[in-house]
Structure 1
Amino acid sequence: MLTVGVEEEFLLLEPDGAVAPVSAGVLGVTDGDDRVRHEYTAYQLETVSGVHTRLDRLHDELADLRRIAARAAELAGARLVAAGAPPFRRGPLETLTDDPRYRRLAERYPGATVAAAGTCGCHVHVGVADRDLAVGVLGRLRPWLAPLLALTANSPCADGADSGFGSIRYEARRQWPTFRAPEVWADARDYDRAIEALISGGTALDIGGVHLLARLSGRYPTIEIRIADTCLSVNDTVLLAGIVRALVATLIDDIRHGRVAETTPSAVEVEDDLAAAARHGLVVRGPAVLHRPPGRPPAATAGHLRALLRKVTPALGESGDAVAVHSRLGWLRRHGTGAERQRSLLRHDPRPDAFVAALAGRTVPHPGRNC
């Protein structure tokens, strides 16, 4: 059984939607829980789960972490919100967390810093100790990144309106020079040489500044899949984690049995698929198809998602995750992705205070609520 862990990034917002740069105060009332940490800006937090083999236990810890962070945010006068980007306005560079490394990043990459400030992602770590094997998996992940992005798109709003994107976070983070899909490397030595070239050439500040959409973690013996927006609900996050773990297990099995990859898309094809996923998201509800905005085509990644699910179904059965994943996916098909749910909330009541309250209410799990 492969292990799995999750890092989730969150926004801290004022009730009127303005960013609330109060992370230092929030961390001051979490009783030293090192699973809740500061992030790039002072209006963000990150939570870090432990290592799990069971999705139900991962769910329980993620839910607990959201409750802890939300209570601390409330004491600091802010709302904890799970969205891939600030839905109203971002803070100035002065709201960067007072950390020497973050300051160096801002000085070296000012354009990327401004464009991507405040964007929030969900990073899933899957334990793979064999680095050569892990690098082989990275290359085979490339065609599956777009459906993972479409499934988890959760940043449709900017300046209080629908941006037209499912994930404006993806568009914003493309300003980082290393925010791209992994390549196909021969082995771990080849991967390490490529990473070192990025750093020595000034494309990345350090290993942590290599923002590949999937990479080997610089801290843990894991593959880190970084494509997803932070998810609106814990159930969305656990759905992602279950699919990602099953996908990694499947690709490991393919490599060990010498199976040829079904598809080997070029860099341009991968980028085109990712751009389409970020723009159009994934229409998973029948009614949403009827109310699609003019000029918005059906989501091409719907077919990719079906292919992904076919790919991982055997691994889900072997891990015992099939029921948990398919029940969550069924709920998502009925109620929409995070991006679709945000749009629905915005249409229902576009007032900033009402929208922020609705997002915050869906960020923190409550008994009997899945959304």
Structure 2
Amino acid sequence: MLTMGVEEEFLLLGPDGAVVPSAPYVARAARAGDQVKPEFLAYQLETTTAVCTRLDQLRRELTGLRQRAGDAARRAGANLVSVGAPPFAAGPLGAVTDETRFRDLAGRFPGAVVAGSSCACQVHVGVPDRDLAVEVLARIRPWLPALLALTVNSPFAGDRDTGWASYRFHLQQRWPTFRPPGAWAGAARYDRVVRQLVGAGAALDDAAIYFLARLSARYPTVEVRVADACLTTDDTVFFAAVVRALVATLIEDSRRNLTTLPIPTGVVDAHLMTAAHGQVRIRRGRPADGSSPAGAGAVARLMAKVSPALVAWGDAEEVFDHLDRMRLDGTGADRQRRAWAKAGTPEGFVDFLANATVAVAAAHK
């Protein structure tokens, strides 16, 4: 069974929706070591789980870290919220965390500082063989739009509905390397491309290569970075389970020498834009044999692809139950839009976001 770990990024918002630049204080107050730390902007936090093999273990990690960070945020007069972009145009949106690397990033890419305000959910899957991991990156390219469609969670920015389901995706395109990985032949070629991008000034260093899926600069993992920050813990567990099952399936495809049709990057980009606009339907279905009906949507094809791995690991029931709930309740973006219409005030909307972020889903209490 492949290992997995998750990095979640969060915003700190005041009751009125203004960003609160107190991430360094909140990270210290959480008393979780490197598992809770400040991010690029001073109102962003990142949490990092331990390496996990089971979904219940991952859920405990995610829940505990959200609760620690949420408690520390409240002591700083802020709310911990898990959304892909700041919903309100209030507070010091350009406040960069006072660390050398973050200052260097802001100095090198001043136009991308606003993109740095967005938050992601990054899933790591252990693949120690770097050549095999690079092949997984090539094979994952056509599945990135469906992964994004499952996690869109940033419809609001600047006090308004942007019309996007993932406004984060739109913002992140200001970073030069925010793009799908290439279909590279092995780790040596991947490393060469990374060196060329850093040398050309398109990235500060290896860790600032922002491919939608990449080899981690720190761990022996494939790191899938396409997703918005997920609204609830259950959303994150679901997404991590799907990503791990997909990586495992693509590894098996490689071992069986299954060929895949090359998909031009322009086509992948177009499908990503469709997903970011919320135009990919999440359909019901529980294919257990890896098949999908002709003409099925991107998400249905993805779920058919990963079903055998989910069944083999005992994760299928939980994953498909969550997918059924998403079909009824919608994505994070859908739920945010309903809450926005109902709340009527920034205070009410921030309360909704904070409660969704830290609450433990009723089914798992």
Q: TM-score range by the shorter chain?
A: over 0.9
- 1:115-164 alpha-carbon deviations (Å, 9 max, x no partner): x0310000000000000000000001100000111110000011222111
Alpha-carbon contact 1:8-1:48 (below 8 Å) kept: yes
* Cα distance in 2 between the residues matched to 1:309 and 1:32: 35
Work out whether 1:348 is the aligned partner of 2:342.
yes
Work out whether 1:225 is the aligned partner of 2:219.
no
Work out whether 1:362 is the aligned partner of 2:356.
yes
Partner of 1:170: 169
Partner of 1:100: 100
Partner of 2:331: 337
Work out whether 1:326 is the aligned partner of 2:320.
yes
- 1:211-261 alpha-carbon deviations (Å, 9 max, x no partner): 000000010000000000000001110110000000000000000110112
Unaligned residue ranges in structure 2 (runs of 5+): 285-294
- 1:319-338 alpha-carbon deviations (Å, 9 max, x no partner): 21111211111111111110
Moved more, 93-102 or 233-242: 93-102
- 1:82-116 alpha-carbon deviations (Å, 9 max, x no partner): 100000126546511001111111111111123x0
Partner of 1:144: 143
- 1:289-346 alpha-carbon deviations (Å, 9 max, x no partner): xxxxxxxxxxxx9700011011111111112111121111111111111000000000
Map 1:1-371 to 2 at 5 A: 1-89=1-89, 91-92=91-92, 95-114=95-114, 116-261=115-260, 263-284=261-282, 303-366=297-360, 368=362
Q: 1:198 is aligned with what amino acid?
A: L
Alpha-carbon contact 2:19-2:92 (below 8 Å) kept: no
* Cα distance in 1 between the residues matched to 2:304 and 2:94: 47
Moved more, 325-334 or 37-46: 325-334
* Cα distance in 2 between the residues matched to 1:18 and 1:139: 40
Kindly, what percent of the aligned residue pairs are identical?
51
Instruction: Kindly tell me the number of residue pairs found equivalent between the two proteins.
Output: 355
Q: 1:22 is aligned with what amino acid?
A: S
C-alpha deviation, 1:350, in angstroms: 2.8
Alpha-carbon contact 1:285-1:336 (below 8 Å) kept: no
Q: 1:135 is aligned with what amino acid?
A: V
Instruction: Report the secondary structure of 1:52's partner residue.
Output: coil
**CA separation of 1:29/1:92 partners in 2, compared to 1, >3 Å: closer, same or farther?**
closer
* Cα distance in 1 between the residues matched to 2:315 and 2:283: 23
C-alpha deviation, 1:56, in angstroms: 1.0
Partner of 1:296: none
Instruction: Report the secondary structure of 1:51's partner residue.
Output: coil
Q: 1:52 is aligned with what amino acid?
A: C
**CA separation of 1:271/1:90 partners in 2, compared to 1, >3 Å: closer, same or farther?**
farther
Instruction: Report the secondary structure of 1:15's partner residue.
Output: coil
Q: 2:301 is aligned with what amino acid?
A: A
Moved more, 304-313 or 33-42: 33-42
**CA separation of 1:91/1:208 partners in 2, compared to 1, >3 Å: closer, same or farther?**
farther
Instruction: Report the secondary structure of 2:42's partner residue.
Output: coil
Instruction: Report the secondary structure of 1:265's partner residue.
Output: coil
Alpha-carbon contact 1:23-1:45 (below 8 Å) kept: yes
**CA separation of 1:302/1:350 partners in 2, compared to 1, >3 Å: closer, same or farther?**
farther
* Cα distance in 2 between the residues matched to 1:149 and 1:269: 15
* Cα distance in 1 between the residues matched to 2:279 and 2:104: 34
Moved more, 82-91 or 159-168: 82-91
C-alpha deviation, 1:30, in angstroms: 1.5
Q: 2:278 is aligned with what amino acid?
A: H
- 1:179-222 alpha-carbon deviations (Å, 9 max, x no partner): 00000001010111111100111111100110000000010000
Moved more, 153-162 or 231-240: 153-162
Instruction: Report the secondary structure of 2:145's partner residue.
Output: helix
The list of structure 1 runs, each at least 4 consecutive aligned residues, that deviate by more than 2 angstroms after superposition, is 31-34, 90-94, 280-286
- 1:31-60 alpha-carbon deviations (Å, 9 max, x no partner): 253211110111010000011110111011
Taking structure 2 as the reference length, the TM-score comes to 0.94
**CA separation of 1:201/1:367 partners in 2, compared to 1, >3 Å: closer, same or farther?**
closer
Moved more, 358-367 or 214-223: 358-367
* Cα distance in 2 between the residues matched to 1:226 and 1:32: 23
Alpha-carbon contact 1:83-1:120 (below 8 Å) kept: yes
Aligned-residue RMSD, C-alpha:
1.8
Q: 1:68 is aligned with what amino acid?
A: R
Alpha-carbon contact 1:90-1:118 (below 8 Å) kept: no
Instruction: Report the secondary structure of 1:12's partner residue.
Output: strand
Instruction: Report the secondary structure of 2:131's partner residue.
Output: helix
**CA separation of 1:69/1:157 partners in 2, compared to 1, >3 Å: closer, same or farther?**
same
